Amino acid sequence: MSLLKRILRITKAEAHAVVDKLEDPIKVTEEGIRELKKELNEAIESLAQVKASQIRFEKEAINERERAKMLVKRAEEILAKAEISEKEQKKAAELLEKAEIHERNARSFEEQAEKQKEIALKLQAKIEELKNTIAKYEAELKTLKARYSTAKAVKKINKQLAKVDPSDTIAMLERMKEKVEEEEALATAYEEIAREEVEESEIGDTAKKLEELKRRLGM
């Protein structure tokens, strides 16, 4: 593909993303497929026109040959008479000459029809080649899009991971660990204090009961 066509293709694609200072392969491939489909449509249109010409030439050849046969038949009818005049002989000769002209026209139309047929075969081959090429590129495009999406996702994750400082994460976990240990120690301390207060309260109650018992006994 020439440089000019490449420039025109890039211009029509518009706003192509740039990856590592290269054209976005997905956008370029999509534009290439669009161009191939355009060529395919043009080839199909040309094929239809060529086949139409082939059919027309074939019909013309048939018509010319039929005219030639009719003229020959008329000339034969004249010459089949037992007696014919000079004028009739001349008429028969003219009919045969005209028949020969129509026969030549028929052969010419047949030649043209054959040429159109050859062109049609070449166009058909080109169309099949374009169809196969388009199918191939469309399949490659699907794969390319899937790989591109995966690469973008991996790139995003790696970029996020690159922003994370492992030392900060470790320090944060250590601080959290210390905080948890402090809270656990405070909980244990409050539990011990509460237990001691209960024990002191129970000892005080026992002493009061003992004094009351002694008083009753007169001790």
Phi and psi based region of residue 155 (left: phi greater than 0; alpha: psi -120 to 50; beta: remaining): alpha
Count Cβ atoms below 10 Å from residue 111 Cβ, excluding itself: 12
Q: Which tokens is 124 given?
A: 């058909």
* Contact status, residue 2 vs residue 113, Cβ threshold 8 Å: no
Q: Where exactly are the structural domains of the chain? A: 3-164, 165-219
Full-model pTM: 0.56
> What is the per-residue pLDDT for 81?
85
Please compute, for residue 6, the number of CA atoms within 13 A of its CA located in the half-sphere on the CB side.
Answer: 4
Q: Which tokens is 171 given?
A: 């320090």
Blockwise average pLDDT, block size 10, the chain, 219 residues:
47 44 71 92 95 96 96 92 86 94 96 96 94 92 85 79 66 78 77 68 58 60
The single-letter DSSP state of residue 20 is T
Ranges of H-type helices in the chain: 3-13, 25-79, 86-163, 166-217
pLDDT tens-digit readout, 78-95: 888 878 888 989 999 999
